[in-house]
Amino acid sequence: MIIGIDATMLVYAGSGVANYTFNLIKNLLLIDKKNEYRLFYSSLRRPKNFYYLDSLRKLGAKVYAHRLPPTLLRLIWGRYNFFPIEFFIGKVDLFFSSDFLRPPTLSSTKGLTTIHDLTWKIFPEYHTQDVISAHRKKLIKTIRYGDEIIVDSRSTRNDLQRLYPQIATSKIHVIYPGISESMKPINDKKKINSVVSTYLTNTHPNRKADQPPSESEGKLPTNHQSLITNHYLLYVGAIEPRKNLDLCIRLFNDLIKDKQFADFKFFIVGRAGWRKEKIFQLVKDLQLDDKVIFVGYVKDEDLPYFYSGAEMTFYLSSYEGFGLPPLESLACGTPTVAGNNSSMRETLPKEFLVNIEDRGEVLKKIKKFIKSPPRIDSKKIINDFSWLKKATEFLHLFESIK
């Protein structure tokens, strides 16, 4: 069987969709030596230090890389439905499209796609009109083609069935994403300090996450240098309204008013997203410029050091199709506080869930976890969300519909 996959989302290195795309393809290539994999990839520019495509080529994938801008793909596929994917990668038996665009295919080609969440439909205020329109068009085409739909959680499946009852239940398949094999506890404090400090030496408390460091930003103030003695809380994810990062910052501000937590810092890892300005302004208004550090993008292989060195992590999102960072945190042995809603209710142990509307309750749990860390079964988390296991589930689905 020849399997085509849209790998264009890899261009957004550091994002959830890029990690999902890379880990899924990588693990399919590791377990499946029988079928042929053809990857469609398109971008005008190749990002610096871009290793994704090279890694997948080495594992046996055939990569069809094109220099077409996203705007052109949205025009020919999203608006006009021109040029089937086979025009770019040759004939395939099955094509797995991304969660953003569904290219036309030949009538003999079976289609699959992943729908990570329906935030664009449930919380349209969190998205631009362009994003909402693209997802709407893509889902309409998915339904018209009769594609098999993979969702990240039962929560997303329930949302999809409620909002689009015309989709047959048999067409929707729940397959949880996996956790990278690099996510595991690290106990070497010197190594943690070394890796994390590498990022902080190029960071400045007053610089926004999407701004490059200036030449004058050589070193941090002395109080940022030692992470072994200076404790920190951690957030990993996009800076956007749905994530309630403003609530995390206010809770952190409440926490450090207590003398026993006064030396704590708050590291925010991730790229700045939509409506990020309010977050930067809040930090300034609360005079937390030297306490809240916007680290920016961190390489996948270095994230376990950030997780392992943290006292605990925040993930107080209003809605998630899956919610990977809190699971990564637990895999690394670090407690988390996450919103008791959507998919997080089905993937996280109850003791780590909180009512995000009750700030006092959340603060109480934060202090409890810092003073008396709960027991975390990291091995179970790692085993339950192994990418090799998840890739096997995908492969079984591929074979059942070929």
Determine the pLDDT at residue 46.
Answer: 63
Determine the pLDDT at residue 271.
Answer: 78
Report whether 300 contacts 238 (CB < 8 A): no
Determine the pLDDT at residue 345.
Answer: 96
Q: Indicate where the chain has its CATH 3.40.50.2000 domain(s).
A: 2-178+386-401, 189-384
- Residues ≥6 apart with Cβ < 8 Å to 265: 224, 230, 231, 232, 233, 291, 292, 293
- Distance in angstroms between the alpha carbons of the first and the last residue of the chain: 8
DSSP annotation of 257: T
The CATH code of domain 189-384 reads: 3.40.50.2000
Report whether 310 contacts 334 (CB < 8 A): yes
Report whether 389 contacts 28 (CB < 8 A): no
Q: In what order do the strands lie in the sheet with 2-6?
A: 62-66, 36-42, 2-6, 94-97, 110-115, 148-151, 172-174
DSSP annotation of 42: E
The CATH code of domain 2-178+386-401 reads: 3.40.50.2000
Report whether 338 contacts 317 (CB < 8 A): yes
What are the pLDDT digits (tens) for 168-192? 999 999 999 999 999 999 999 999 9
57/38 Cα distance (integer angstroms) = 10
Q: How far is CA 346 from the centre of its chain?
A: 18
CA angle (355 as vertex; 175, 239 as ends), nearest 5: 65
The two three-digit tokens of residue 370, written as one number: 């810092």
- Residue 94 phi/psi, 5-degree rounding, is -145, 135
Report whether 171 contacts 160 (CB < 8 A): no
Q: For each of the chain's 402 residues, which pLDDT tens digit applies?
A: 999 999 998 888 777 888 899 999 999 999 999 999 999 999 877 655 567 899 999 999 999 999 888 888 888 998 888 999 999 999 999 999 988 899 999 999 999 999 999 999 999 988 889 889 989 999 999 999 999 999 999 999 999 999 999 999 999 999 999 999 999 999 999 999 999 999 987 554 444 444 433 333 333 443 444 444 469 999 999 888 889 999 999 999 999 999 999 999 999 998 776 667 889 999 999 999 999 999 998 988 999 999 999 999 999 999 999 999 999 999 999 999 999 999 999 999 999 999 999 999 999 999 999 999 999 999 999 999 999 999 999 999 999 987
